[in-house]
Structure 1
């Protein structure tokens, strides 16, 4: 079980179930009925739109001859991965404040806000409005912004007004 878990860690267990059913040349509908489940439920799980319950995971483990708890552990690892992704996505400024036009040349959701800190600060202070500048100061801190803007060639940027507030 450990090898299987390590191999599929973080992948939705429904996708693994679908692969296993294909490998065994089993159809989802009859398999679902053999578990006394609705075929629609199994389809939702194999499409990754629904998670496994402990009861259903035990039924699947038994029907496929897997070690007890395999599918439930895979579900747990998938949930852990989703939670980590949610936490990681909170490591950015409030995107409802920043206009997408500021980052017209890239997908704003894909920006690594810490890796590209200097470029982000410069761009927002060159082209952003008061509210956007305030959000960048809140996110990076006054010292972080001052370190970048203080070294900026364009001294027209009124950072001191923002830092004084």
Structure 2
């Protein structure tokens, strides 16, 4: 099990199943019927269009002689990876941004969401390449472009 988890952690277990079936020369349809599942279900799982339920994972593991829980754990690791990708950081990586760029305010007190327009303008005006890259990664290219298109006459200020 450890080799599977180390090798395939974060990959959908259906992709691993498809690979295993191909390696063993087993067709999907007869395999699905042999474990008591609909061929369409196994097909959707192997195409990573459907999650692998624990009940089906246990049947597959038994049939293929895999250690119990291997595919179920792979599904869990995949789910964790999906959830991590959904989480947006609350602040950019502050170790990449010089405090001197925000000389007039305490950088730890900046509300990165409410003051995003001022932050973007400040970094684009006074930041170095690394800081600009971090802000682009944090806010996204679409928002950066939108802010840069705006021609604001009024001064912008960061208020903590």
TM-score band by shorter chain is 0.5 to 0.7
Query: Does the alignment pair 1:38 with 2:38?
Result: yes
| Aligned-pair CA distance for 1:158 | 2.4
Deviations 1:109-157 (A, max 9, x none): xxxx769989xxxxxxxxxxxxxxxx97615596x568647849xx956
Residue number in structure 2 paired with 1:23 = 23
Residues of 1 paired with 2:115 and 2:48: CA distance? 34
d(CA) in 1 for partners of 2:58 and 2:70? Answer: 8
Q: What's the TM-score, normalizing by structure 2?
A: 0.63
Partner Cα distance (2:63, 2:79) in 1? 23
State the TM-score, normalizing by the size of structure 1: 0.61
**Alignment gaps of 5+ in structure 1:** 94-112, 119-134
Question: 1:14, 1:158 → 2: CA distance?
Answer: 54
The within-5 A match list for 1:8-87 is 8-87=8-87
Alignment coverage as a number of residue pairs: 123
Aligned residue for 1:159?
156
Deviation at 1:69?
Answer: 0.5
Q: List alignment gaps of at least 5 residues for structure 2.
A: 99-110, 128-151
Q: 1:37 to 1:151 in 2, by over 3 A?
A: closer
- Residue 114 (structure 2) pairs with residue 138 (structure 1): yes
Q: State how far apart, in whole Å, the 2-side matches of 1:150 and 1:31 are.
A: 61
Q: 1:114 to 1:13 in 2, by over 3 A?
A: same
Shift of the 138–70 alpha-carbon distance from structure 1 to 2, 3 Å rule, reads same
Deviation for aligned residue 1:18: 0.1
Q: Give distance in 1, aligned partners of 2:32 and 2:78.
A: 22
RMSD, aligned CA: 3.7
